[in-house]
Amino acid sequence: MLEHVLVLSAYLFSIGIYGLVTSRNMVRALMCLELLLNAVNINFITFSDFFDNRQLKGNIFSIFVIAIAAAEAAIGLAN
Amino acid sequence: MFPILVFRDTLGLLLLLGLDVSAMMFPVVHIGDIDVSFLFVVMMFHIQIAEICEEVLRYLPVSGIIGLILWWEMFFILDNETIPLLPTQRNTTSLRYTVYAGKVRSWTNLETLGNLLYTYYFVWFLLPSLILLVAMIGAIVLTMHRTTKVKRQDIFRRNAIDFRRTIMRRTTDPLTIY
């Protein structure tokens, strides 16, 4: 179970990097950036679920990543 | 549209993992805020849909096969217990054990996150609030350009007008009609 979710997150991450590098449109680049942050969040949360049951450090860090992603998406779209 | 589908996939995945609070935060933030703002931007820019509809038919065989494979794999997960009308059957002879420690007294997901977030990591909690405040101000400043005419009063000029000179300048009496 663990490795499947991690493979999925790595797959999403690679798709996000590919889309971010090869996109000329700025809106598409921002969407790929959100995809990257989403893949990273999945990674953190699954690791914190399987290894860190007492202190959910990965889970909490992903909360902050979501907040920062929302902030930079707002700024990036305002441009 | 596709980022919405991706975020819904992560939502389902996290629900399967049993993390309910973090899974519920994803659609609230990602789909609700970011995807809606992306939709606004796309609507404003008039991205041409006519080009996309022409090329769909070329991509249909490969994407159709992939779609059918994914749809077929869904039946491995849904068994007769969840939806009782599907023709798949899961082997019910595998042993199951219940962990009783979780049924006696256990924390919910929300409790654990709150326990850490507000006590030990409260500084980190306050810091993204500041970052979000800066982002809000930045978004307002970036979109407020000078062409929007906002009625403002120049206070210093208003205080400097001498009222005796501006009001009492009239010399003719308006009531007399010649």
- pLDDT of B64-86, one tens digit each? 777 777 777 666 655 545 554 55
Residue type, B130: L
- pLDDT of B36-50, one tens digit each? 666 666 666 655 544
Contact B29 A64 (CB under 8 A): no
Overall residue count recorded for chain B in this entry: 178
Assessment of whether the complete model's pTM goes beyond 0.90: no
More confident call, B114 vs B91: B114
Contact A71 B121 (CB under 8 A): no
| Mutation choice for A interface testing from B17, B33, B109 by most A CBs within 10 A | B17
- pLDDT of A4-59, one tens digit each? 778 888 988 998 898 889 888 777 788 888 888 888 888 888 888 778 777 778 88
Which residue from B25, B30, B135 is facing A71, i.e. has the nearest CB?
Answer: B135
Alpha carbons B167 and B159: distance in angstroms, whole number: 15
Which residue from A34, A60, A62 is facing B3, i.e. has the nearest CB?
Answer: A34
Which residue from B6, B29, B134 is facing A35, i.e. has the nearest CB?
Answer: B6
Q: Secondary structure of chain B: what % helix, strand, coil (to 5)?
A: 65, 0, 35
Q: Which two tokens stand for residue A59?
A: 């889970």
Contact A49 B113 (CB under 8 A): no
Q: Which of B13-22, B107-116, B150-159, B167-176 has the lowest mean pLDDT?
A: B13-22
Q: Please answer whether residues A78 and B138 qualify as being in contact, where contact means their C-beta atoms are separated by less than 8 angstroms.
A: yes
